[in-house]
Homo-oligomer: A and B are copies of this chain.
Amino acid sequence: MPRVSGTKRSILDAALELASLNGITGTTMEDVAVRAGVAKGSVYYNFSSKDKLFEQLLLDGIGALAETLRQSRDGKTGGQALASMVTAMLELISGNQPLAKLIAAEIFRTDRSWQTHLQTVRREALAEIVTVIRETHPERPDAELMAGTIFGAVLVGGIEWLAFSPERSVEEVSESVLFTLSGRLTA
């Protein structure tokens, strides 16, 4: 994730807080300025428009996911790599639940100015999972589809966890997701 600091960070944080309460459409640049404690001109100086602001917020979030998946795979293959990636994704979701929910809500929309860019970065993130699948199953023509399936499993499982059983540890939830993928339910 490209690290930003100072005013820019305050503005992005304020925008995320407001969007998780009122949605992106329900959030104005004025609201963001007030929440961040900066002048409205400063918000526009840092981001030329509301669309640009939320685009950066979402792209940073998915970029962080890609980076997390890359790091957690590090040298591992197959089931070990996937287990490590599942845990790392859950930790990321747990560490920034409002952003995870915003990404989940935005990733399927087709009416946003940032959709093309968002899909590109999303595919880059999923490419980490695709690589792991292809290493052990080069014969499968559907590695991308399966990577999307795993991404959806972890994203929805993670949000379900934080919403309904936040007392569980990330290790427990990781075990639940991996149990779901282990074939013991479908046997």
Q: Is the CB of A105 closer than 8 A to any CB of chain B? A: yes
Task: Tell me the bound Cα distance from A21 to B111 in angstroms.
Answer: 6
Q: Is the CB of A137 closer than 8 A to any CB of chain B? A: yes
The chain B residue sitting closest to A183, CB to CB, is B183
Q: Tell which of A28-36, A50-58, A152-160 binds the partner.
A: A152-160
Task: Tell me the bound Cα distance from A164 to B39 in angstroms.
Answer: 43
Q: Which residues of B contact A82 (CB under 8 A)?
A: 185-186
- Kindly supply a per-residue 1/0 record for chain A positions 15-29, scoring 1 wherever the CB is within 8 Å of any chain B CB and 0 otherwise: 000001111011000
Contact between B152 and A109 (Cβ–Cβ < 8 Å)?
no
Task: Tell me the bound Cα distance from A181 to B184 in angstroms.
Answer: 9
Q: Which residues of B contact A161 (CB under 8 A)?
A: 145, 148
Contact between B176 and A149 (Cβ–Cβ < 8 Å)?
yes
Given the contacts A22-B111, A105-B108, A185 and B133 also touching, CB distance less than 8 Å: yes
- Please tell me the size bucket of the interface on A: 35 or more
Q: Which residues of B contact A105 (CB under 8 A)?
A: 105-106, 108-109
Within 8 A of B (CB), among A138-187: 140, 142, 144-146, 148-157, 159-161, 164-165, 168, 172-173, 176-187
Q: Closest CB-CB distance, A86 to chain B, in whole Å?
A: 9
Q: Is the CB of A83 closer than 8 A to any CB of chain B? A: yes
Q: Which residues of B contact A183 (CB under 8 A)?
A: 181-184
Contact between A108 and B159 (Cβ–Cβ < 8 Å)?
yes
The chain B residue sitting closest to A178, CB to CB, is B186
Partner of A149, one of B25, B133, B153: B153
Task: Tell me the bound Cα distance from A157 to B145 in angstroms.
Answer: 6
Task: Tell me the bound Cα distance from A144 to B167 in angstroms.
Answer: 14
Q: Can you show 8 pairs from A to B with CB atoms below 8 A apart?
A: A104-B108, A142-B179, A145-B165, A145-B173, A149-B156, A150-B185, A152-B153, A155-B156
